[in-house]
A and B are shown apart, each in its own frame.
Chain A
Amino acid sequence: MWRWLHPYAKPEVVYHLLGRWLPWVAGAAALILGGGLVWGILFAPADYQQGDSYRIIFIHVPAAMFSMSVYVGLAITALIGRVWQLKMADWALAAIAPVGAVFTFIALFTGAVWGKPMWGTWWEWDARLTSQLILLFLYIGVLALYHAFSDNRTGAKAAGILALVGVINIPIIRYSVEWWNTLHQGATLTVFERPPMANSMLFPLLTCILGFAFLAAALIFHRMRNEILRQELHRPWVKAELGETSKQTEAV
């Protein structure tokens, strides 16, 4: 297995692989998320209690779900970076964290805007909302630490450790609605039970969730390519990749 994996630890190979996937993943994200949103906003029926305000769910739930799954991915990457000292796992921290931070921001913002007409308040210091806010701070902290040191490896180490410690927040967010009395409702989607939602609402929601998965992948792939390039800017393969000027330099 290690022999098979070995070539994929080369930045050059990963850079090209991501470059080949990126257009397809980005295209799928635009198509599926666009379709899911149009379906949800224009064609799904209105909710019998919340009217049309519930349509915020089509962005709120996917963003909230992936704000957490992206964090789990970040923590796994940090673990790989710490345990196996894989430099590309370190670099991936810088690619993943901004995407997770933006998803967390979207979840918080749309939640607040949805809360105003439904709960009568933009914000409440309740368990779910507070733990989600802490998630945003964790993402920002990881990013800040990553870029805080002139030595990139030290920064990645510090950021990785924060990412690993912060993973405790994920089950807290997940179960906050069960452990404490909160304003926030319980999980909309669970793995083992049939969701208490009509198919006409459920299917566009699932489409949006799938679209968000592709969106997350596309954004992370693009940022990972940037980070690889930034780290390897002085390597020969980058010359072949970025400039024709390399021929002249070699001729000298």
Chain B
Amino acid sequence: MQFDSWQAVIEMGGYGFYVWLSFGVSFLAIGVLAVQGLRARTKLERAFKQEQHRQQRLARRHREVS
């Protein structure tokens, strides 16, 4: 390792703020993108289930009427 201690890793030779801000925000941006994609998937699954229930309800009513 290039650094003697974890303290030195954080300090980054005086550039710690810039280096860790860069990596932090980049990580956050990719994380938001990934989580947003996962949540979109959950939302789609929920929309599908709702549609299924609606169709079943309609089918049941149709049977009752006929």
User: For A238, what are the chain B residues with a Cβ–Cβ distance below 8 Å?
Assistant: 48
Among B30, B41, B51, the residue within 8 A (CB) of A102 is B30
Task: Determine if B15 and A245 form an interchain contact, defined as CB atoms under 8 angstroms apart.
Answer: no
**Chain B facing A: main interface SS:** helix
How many whole Å from B25's CB to the nearest CB in chain A? 6
Number of A interface residues in the complex (CB < 8 A) = 45
Q: Which residues of A96-113 have CB atoms within 8 Å of chain B's CB atoms?
A: 98-99, 102, 105-106, 109-110, 113
Task: Determine if A42 and B2 form an interchain contact, defined as CB atoms under 8 angstroms apart.
Answer: yes
Task: Determine if A249 and B1 form an interchain contact, defined as CB atoms under 8 angstroms apart.
Answer: no
How many whole Å from A25's CB to the nearest CB in chain B? 13
Given contacts A45-B2, A56-B22, contact A51 B33 (CB under 8 A): no
Q: How far does the alpha carbon of A156 sit from the alpha carbon of B13 in the complex, in Å? A: 49
Q: How far does the alpha carbon of A52 sit from the alpha carbon of B8 in the complex, in Å? A: 11
Give me the interface of A with B, judged by CB distance under 8 Å: 37, 41-46, 51-53, 55-56, 59-60, 63, 98-99, 102, 105-106, 109-110, 113-114, 116-117, 215, 219, 222-223, 225-226, 229-230, 233-234, 238-239, 242-243, 245-246, 248-249, 252
Give me the interface of B with A, judged by CB distance under 8 Å: 1-3, 9, 12-15, 18-19, 21-23, 25-26, 29-30, 32-34, 37-38, 40-41, 44-45, 47-49, 51-53, 55-56, 59-60, 63
